[in-house]
Amino acid sequence: MISLRYTATIGLILALPAAALAQTAEKRITWSVGSGSVVTLSDTRDRFGNGVAVIGGVAYAATDRVDLSFDYGISWHNVKGAFFDLPSLRGDQRMQQFAFNATYWLNDRHSTVAFFVVGGPGIFRRDVSITYISGTTGPVCDPFLLVCEEDPEENLVGSRGSTDAGVSFGGGFTFPLTDYLRMSVDTRYLFIWGPKIDTSIVPGATSSSTTANGQFLPVRIVFLF
């Protein structure tokens, strides 16, 4: 009769390959959460201040050097009323991102300092809200506010939104904090193809429409586990 100890030993030996495989598979998945600053660029910078963001995501190690990941993030930016010669203008932009990225590690991802480049497409939702305005009777029209109104006192207070495609690319590095936690610092250039806004009501306009593209430079600090 096979003893209980012998049976347990055999079972342990048989279980070791499965446990090792489970650990290997587990290491292929990395979760991330963090925050950062989103610097506005070009025409976007004229209308909006720099923002703050929170980010979360998950990555899959497809190879030793390549990760495939999905990130969700949200950032907030104040509207610059002075740009429109309307110091009373108050508002903000909320931007959400649903981004799919590929990360290429320039050295071993487990090194004390591991460097990477990253980029990919995404879907971005921008919502601009105007909360207060006074002191104007003329049209307020700007594609980056996603609005073009003839009667701002009556119509401008409210919100507009647009969902558009974009792309980002950049790079950064990671380093360990504990055996199971690393910190990542990275920056990326982000370009969003915006909608066309009818600007024909603006006196002296050189064209009947303008495209509300967005340009940003997120600087992120992210914890990987």
- Within a domain: 4: no
- Within a domain: 8: no
The letter for the amino acid at 75 is S
Helix or strand holding residue 99 (H, E): strand 90-105
Number of domains in the chain: 1
Write down the residue that tokens 């990326």 correspond to: 188
Contacts of 10 (CB under 8 A, 6+ apart): none
- Write down the pTM of the prediction: 0.77
- Within a domain: 178: yes
- Distance, CA of 47 to CA of 42 (rounded, Å): 10
Q: Which domain holds residue 168?
A: 29-224
- Within a domain: 207: yes
Tokens of 101: 């990225």
What is the mean pLDDT for each group of 10 consecutive residues in the chain (225 residues)?
A: 46 45 63 98 94 98 97 95 73 95 97 98 94 64 72 63 97 96 98 86 64 96 97
- Within a domain: 7: no
- Within a domain: 34: yes
Q: What is the CATH number of the domain that holds 86?
A: 2.40.160.20
Handedness of CA 49, 55, 60, 66 (dihedral sign): positive
